[in-house]
Amino acid sequence: VAATRTNSPLEVMAEPLEGSYFVSTYPPFSTWSGSARECYRAALANESTADVPLGLYAHIPFCDLRCRYCYYLSQANPAADSVESYLDCLEVEMALLGASPALRHRELSFIYFGGGTPSMLLPDQIERLMAFVRRSFTWAEGAEVTFECAPRTVGVDRLAVLRQCGVTRLSLGVQQLDDEVLSRNGRVHTVSDVEKAVECIQSVGFDVVNLDLIVGLVGETEDTFFRSLGRVIEMDPQSVTLYQLEIPFNTPLARAVRSRRDSLAIPSWETKRRRLDAAFRRLEGAGYFVRSAYAAVRNPSQHGFVYQDSQYRGADLVGAGASAFSYLSGVHHQNLASVRDYSTCLGRGDLPLYRAHALSADEQMVRQFVLQLKLGGCRTGAFRRSFDVDPLERFAQPLSHFEGLGWVEADADAVRVTREGLLRVDRMIPAFYNAEHQTVRYS
């Protein structure tokens, strides 16, 4: 393990309007390769001795309509038989994964149904999905089971099935409560759809209800954003997540920005940070606690987000579904990212392997350090015990740079990300990467 690296914090801190912002893992996806996918196959074939939690992610790639800013794999307005065929494939994949030597004796600690829009599934499809997940895996009583929903698809029938099937955490994509802003960004729902959905969700009752908002949508103003936030606080969810809008390449919004349509109506990064900062303060004033760079919750000991916290602390995650990501025994993997290729592979009884990266011990250490910054930092002693690396020495250069800016505080006990740092944590993170990863594209 090298003692120091030539990180260059200033170089990696540019703020273009277009491109990825959110860092979900390390090393960047663009360094993963097809040839390394056999490493993931090998990780599944080896009985695991891991002492970290294991989670399951299932991807449901369907939506009513595509939002202009969205880069997730998802098909708009799918035909009924495409959804059924997709579930057939998912069932085969889960059975293969659940029977693998690495997973067959392990219990899941958390499950996440994401998309796309999992709540597009009809009640009987949700029952079928949950039944085959249960046939393939076991999970601990009380484990967190999250289901992502969009407002128009939420009704009492579906919600009752979700609750009965063991969903504990319901996450609703609200984004903003202003009809014009919603429509300019390609959302199909209206403010009144959200109001009805939240009422329904609260009448059925889940342990944690999370509402997602986006800061910086096209056409957003101080007034639309803070009115939305005020209304969300009145709805009294246990958790509020706030993402700063990113405009990934290859989205309709990125094309509009490039041709200079819309660019003037998109808040700058500085404006997004200022609004997010004020939003966190409003939420704190209303009794919420900021628990990460993205979320505020009513009660941190009851309303955690096990899926995110566990991954950021090094848990294993097995992904199922087209484009789904996994991290198992130090190997990153992504499934085939086209539904057709994914289905063809499973039709033959093969796992839909696409690209992977086997992390060196050093990369695993960097990964865990940077992901924990999103949760506010780490204890230096615990980090040293896990990796035999002193983070204060290893990351001395970027830490001292960011301490100078007031974005982190580091001492013998802990590395702490300040509020100023949390507001731009995904900008800061690449400065901690190994030199060879600092200049590559993220995805």
Applying CB under 6 A, the residues found at the interface with ligand SAM are 63, 69-70, 72, 114-117, 148, 150, 173, 175, 212, 214, 243, 245-246
**Residue 244 phi, psi dihedral angles, 5° rounding:** -80, 130
Beta bridge partners, 213, equal 175, 242
| Interatomic CA distance for residues 212 and 195, integer angstroms | 14
Q: Does 239 bind ligand SF4 (CB under 6 A)?
A: no
66 binds, among ligand SF4, ligand SAM, none (CB under 5 to 8 A by kind): ligand SF4
- Least distance from C-beta 78 to ligand SF4, angstroms? 12
Where does this chain touch ligand SF4 (CB under 6 A) — which range of 9-17, 114-122, 276-284, 348-356? Answer: 114-122
| Interatomic CA distance for residues 370 and 24, integer angstroms | 10
Give 210's contacts (C-beta < 8 A, 6+ positions apart). Answer: 169, 170, 171, 172, 237, 238, 239, 240, 241, 295, 305
Residue nearest to ligand SAM (CB): 173
Tell me whether residue 21 or residue 139 sits nearer to ligand SAM (CB atom): 21
Tell me whether residue 55 or residue 114 sits nearer to ligand SAM (CB atom): 114
243 binds, among ligand SAM, ligand SF4, none (CB under 5 to 8 A by kind): ligand SAM
- Least distance from C-beta 225 to ligand SF4, angstroms? 18
Tell me whether residue 44 or residue 266 sits nearer to ligand SAM (CB atom): 266
Beta bridge partners, 148, equal 171
Tell me whether residue 70 or residue 240 sits nearer to ligand SF4 (CB atom): 70
- Least distance from C-beta 308 to ligand SF4, angstroms? 17
- Least distance from C-beta 251 to ligand SF4, angstroms? 10
Q: Does 210 bind ligand SF4 (CB under 6 A)?
A: no
Kindly tell me which residue out of 48, 117, 241, 308 binds ligand SF4, with binding defined by CB under 6 A: 117
Where does this chain touch ligand SF4 (CB under 6 A) — which range of 109-117, 124-132, 231-239, 280-288? Answer: 109-117
- 226 token code pair: 């803070």
Burial class (CB in 10 A: 0-12, 13-18, 19+), 366: buried
- 76 token code pair: 């708009």
DSSP SS3 for 373:
helix
Kindly tell me which residue out of 39, 54, 63, 296 binds ligand SF4, with binding defined by CB under 6 A: 63
Q: Does 115 bind ligand SF4 (CB under 6 A)?
A: yes
Over the window 349 to 388, marking each residue x when it contacts ligand SF4 by CB under 6 A and - when it does not, the resulting string is ----------------------------------------
Kindly tell me which residue out of 133, 150, 182, 191 binds ligand SF4, with binding defined by CB under 6 A: 150
Q: Does 251 bind ligand SF4 (CB under 6 A)?
A: no
DSSP structural state of residue 413: S
Alpha helix positions (H), 259-416: 269-285, 306-312, 339-347, 361-373, 380-387, 391-394, 396-405
214 binds, among ligand SAM, ligand SF4, none (CB under 5 to 8 A by kind): ligand SAM
| Interatomic CA distance for residues 353 and 345, integer angstroms | 9
- 418 token code pair: 């300040």
- 178 token code pair: 């202003």
Supply the Cα-derived Rg of the chain in whole angstroms: 21
Q: Does 276 bind ligand SF4 (CB under 6 A)?
A: no
As a dihedral over the C-alpha atoms of residue 8, residue 11, residue 13, residue 14, rounded to 10 degrees, the angle is: -170
Decide: 128 and 120 in contact? Cβ < 8 Å.
Answer: no
Tell me whether residue 245 or residue 257 sits nearer to ligand SF4 (CB atom): 245
| Interatomic CA distance for residues 209 and 240, integer angstroms | 9
220 binds, among ligand SAM, ligand SF4, none (CB under 5 to 8 A by kind): none
User: Distance from first CA to last CA of the chain, Å, rounded?
Assistant: 26
Sites of contact with ligand SF4 (CB under 6 A): 63, 66-67, 70, 72, 74, 115-117, 150, 173
